[in-house]
Homo-oligomer: A and B are copies of this chain.
Amino acid sequence: MASHKVQFQPNNVEIAVQSGTTIMEALDEAKIYYDFPCGGIGKCGKCKVKVLKGAQKPTSKEEKHLDEKEIEEGIRLACMTEIQNDITVELLNVRKMEHNILITSEEKAVKIEPHIKKVPIEIERPLLGDQRSDLHRVKDSLSRKGYRHDDLKASLTVMQKLPETLRHSGFKATAVMYENEIMEIESGDTTKTMLGVAFDIGTTTIVGYLLDLYTGEELAIASTLNPQTKYGADVISRINFANNEEDGIKKLHDAVIEAINKLIGEACDKASVKRSSVYGVSIAANTTMHHLFIGTSPKNIGISPYVSSVSEPLAIDAKELGIDINTGGKIFVLPNIAGFVGADTSAVILSTEMYKSDVVKLAIDIGTNGEIALGSKEKMFACSAAAGPAFEGAQISSGMRGAAGAIDHVYFKDKLEYTVIGDVKPIGICGSALLDVVAGLIELGIVDKRGRILSPDKLTNPEALKFKDNITEHEGQAAFLLADKNKTGSGKAVMVTQSDIRELQLAKGAMATGVKVLMEVLNIQVDEIKEVLLAGAFGNYLTPHSACVIGLIPMELESKIKMVGNAAGTGSRIALLSAGEFLKAGEIAEFVGFVELGSHPKFNSYFGECSYFKVPR
């Protein structure tokens, strides 16, 4: 079969592919991450690229997403365009992590109690009258430090390297211990350094925190878009990819392992430490990300009765998973609560200490997949709500992630005001701005109970009339203009359309239904909730008032809202620093009840109710 050259700009990468390969597949081969929110089925139209040289006629699926000017300029969908000749492609959405990823959190005092212990040992030298084996001597030294000789087990790697290691440093060594396992024996006294990396693997973003396992000090942070994004934007599309594609699970698994290894390398470089000094890694992730990380099928999470393969806390050899840290390193995977309430929720509950609370607290982690936990030390329940990617700016006409050029907050003052990430001309809006706009429109009476944008002549509130010129039309539907095309960086107007509001209604409706169902299951009234903890990137950038106005959170709780940062990441860090807390996460996963929202008898009626807005009287 004929082969063609593909050049990617601005990356300046060139590869050869067989005729008929799509640009998406070529990107994959070239190992360039690119966003395919719908998973590459030509549905979302978000994977636009500009074919600078060699453009062909677009397919009919592409034509739906492209206007005439775009077609003429060579704009195409990477997922749909087959390569039939040598081409040069400009990537329009390469995000070099300039977007906001939440990586810090409130500090929390944790008693440090490492999983892994470094034990300095001095080994008796062999004599003709004392021919114990090297390993026997090591065990004897450890038994003088409180270990039981007969319980000790050494890994094959330790046994293989032992004679060299001991003799290299005159029989002074350091045993790296995990429980009764001798994970590694190092020449000399290496007790000074012991590092770990705590990960929060989100559907969209992966963040790793390099920590000193003795002090808890954070030495560096590294983050990246989850490279699995190219196989689908949300949990469901990844599950579908895993089920339907050949080697789907392996591709997703390999992608996340590669990203984790890359981040560990980056973090170590930033802190000028060796990756062999990393002995432990912790993982908090939703159940699907968890399963793809360990390499098991997420298939059954996606179908009733939504069962996970594995839920308990895991300690896995780094080597077995291909994680490139110290050869004796361990991976600590936090436990899942249920099919759609994962280890990230265990981590949130662990870090917020809700499970110890005398008073009732509500935690909401808003991401592509939203998780909600409610209760106190008496009883807790959690559920998951498929918010979809609307909060992350996807499936929104002018939507984008919280990257440079995104309007992130909107204020209805005498005129419309907004702030833009990176202080540049706006090119779109991110989720927090979408909330601000819709909340403002509700308060002004421009959007009604059912979510309709009213025409200017229907407005009654004098304040609303200030913004009547912003009410416009876009492709046959009502829209609210935020920035005219000559004021934006893309030459295209930034607006919120009627459909965008519908998407938001679905997303907030799902979350609000979750809260309502949990309250009912636990028989808790709204005034009993003493604290609302907002976790996750989106939760920390949104305006609490806007979230209450649109009904994402009950209005009565506005004053009780507290941002808790990346609580899942914090939970992961805690579980890495303390073996006791890691065990507690296991207890939390057992303690917290799970409600499967979709099969709750009142789900449909509540969801209908919750997707409406409450308008001011």
**A305 partner, pick from B126, B316, B317, beta carbons under 8 A:** B126
Decide if A312 touches B156 in the complex (CB within 8 Å).
no
Contact B596 A160 (CB under 8 A): no
Give chain B residues whose Cβ lies under 8 Å from the Cβ of A307.
126, 131-134
Chain B residue nearest in CB terms to A126: B307
1/0 per residue, CB under 8 A from B, across A99-141: the answer is 0000000000000000000000000001110111111100000
Q: Mark A309-326, 1 if CB is under 8 A from B, else 0.
A: 111101011001100000
The residue that A309 contacts in the complex, of B135, B296, B312, with Cβ under 8 A, is: B135
Interfacial residues, chain A to chain B (CB-CB below 8 A): 126-128, 130-136, 154, 156, 159-164, 167, 294-297, 299-300, 304-312, 314, 316-317, 320-321, 336, 338-339, 594, 596, 599
Q: Is the CB of B312 within 8 A of A133?
A: yes
Q: With A131-B339, A156-B316, A156-B320 in contact, do A309 and B126 touch (Cβ < 8 Å)? A: no
Q: Kindly identify which residue among B136, B163, B300 contacts A312, using a CB–CB cutoff of 8 Å.
A: B136
- Kindly identify which residue among B131, B160, B297 contacts A306, using a CB–CB cutoff of 8 Å: B131
In the assembly, what is the distance between CA of A8 and CA of B24, in Å? Answer: 51
B594-A131 in contact (CB<8A): yes
| B-side contacts of A305, CB under 8 Å | 126-128, 130-131
Q: A160-B295, A164-B297, A300-B163 are in contact. Are A133 and B308 (CB under 8 A)?
A: yes
- Do B126 and A159 have beta carbons less than 8 Å apart? no
State the CA gap A135–B134 with chains docked (Å).
38
Shortest CB–CB separation between residue A599 and chain B, in angstroms? Answer: 5
Q: How far is the CB of A242 from chain B (nearest CB, A)?
A: 11
Q: How far is the CA of A320 from the CA of B311 in the complex (A)?
A: 26
Whether A309 touches B131, Cβ cut-off 8 Å, given contacts A156-B321, A316-B156, A320-B156, is no
CA distance A54 to B307 in the complex (A): 70
B599 touches A309 (CB 8 A): no
Closest to A135 in B: B310
User: What is the minimal beta-carbon distance from A163 to any residue of chain B, in angstroms?
Assistant: 5
A460 to B127 Cα, complex, angstroms: 53
Report the Cα distance A320→B309, complex, angstroms: 24
Residues of B within 8 A of A308 (CB): 131, 133-134
Q: Is the CB of B304 within 8 A of A162?
A: no
Query: Are B163 and A309 touching (Cβ within 8 A)?
Result: yes
Residue of B nearest to A331 (CB): B156
A317 to B: closest C-beta gap in Å: 8
CA A317 – CA B305 in complex, angstroms? 35
Contacts of A297 in B (CB 8 A): 163-164
Q: List 17 A-B contacts (CB under 8 A).
A: A126-B300, A128-B304, A130-B305, A131-B306, A131-B594, A133-B310, A133-B312, A134-B308, A135-B310, A136-B311, A154-B310, A156-B294, A156-B320, A159-B309, A159-B314, A161-B296, A163-B296
- B residues within 8 A CB of A311? 132-133, 135-136
Task: Specify which chain B residues have a CB less than 8 angstroms from the CB of A338 in the assembled complex.
Answer: 131
Most chain B CB within a 10 A radius of its CB, from A162, A294, A300, A312: A312
B336 touches A296 (CB 8 A): no
Please report the C-alpha to C-alpha distance between residue A136 and residue B299 in the assembled complex, in whole angstroms.
17
Residues of B within 8 A of A156 (CB): 294-295, 316-317, 320-321
Chain B residues contacting A134 (CB-CB under 8 Å) are: 300, 307-310
User: Chain B residues near A312 (CB, 8 Å)?
Assistant: 133, 135-136
CB neighbours of A159 from chain B (8 A): 294, 296, 309-310, 314
A173 to chain B, nearest CB (A): 14
- In the complex, what's the smallest C-beta–C-beta distance from A598 to chain B, in angstroms? 10
Tell me the bound Cα distance from A294 to B158 in angstroms: 11
* Residues in B whose Cβ lies below 8 Å from that of A316: 156
A32 to B154, CA, bound (A): 36
Residue of B nearest to A341 (CB): B131
> Which residue in chain B gives the minimum CB-CB distance to A340?
B131
Pick from B160, B295, B304, B336: contact of A294, CB under 8 Å: B160
Q: Is the CB of A131 within 8 A of B294?
A: no
CA distance A306 to B126 in the complex (A): 9
A160 to B292, CA, bound (A): 9
The complex places the Cα of A309 from the Cα of B162 at a distance, in Å, of 7
**Distance between Cα atoms of A338 and B154 in the complex (Å):** 19
Smallest distance from the beta carbon of A144 to chain B beta carbons, Å?
A: 18
Using CB atoms, name the residue of chain B closest to A319.
Answer: B320
* Interface core residue of A300, A307, A312 (most chain B CB under 10 Å): A307
Cα–Cα distance between A308 and B321 once the two chains are bound (Å): 31
Residue numbers in B under 8 Å from A339 (CB-CB): 131
A154 vs chain B, min Cβ distance (A)? 8
B residues less than 8 Å from A294 (CB atoms): 156, 159-160
Q: Is the CB of B296 within 8 A of A160?
A: yes
With A134-B308, A162-B310, A163-B297 given, can you name 17 additional A-B contacts, CB distance below 8 Å?
Answer: A126-B305, A128-B306, A128-B599, A131-B306, A131-B307, A133-B307, A135-B309, A135-B311, A135-B312, A156-B295, A156-B316, A156-B317, A156-B320, A160-B296, A161-B296, A162-B296, A167-B300
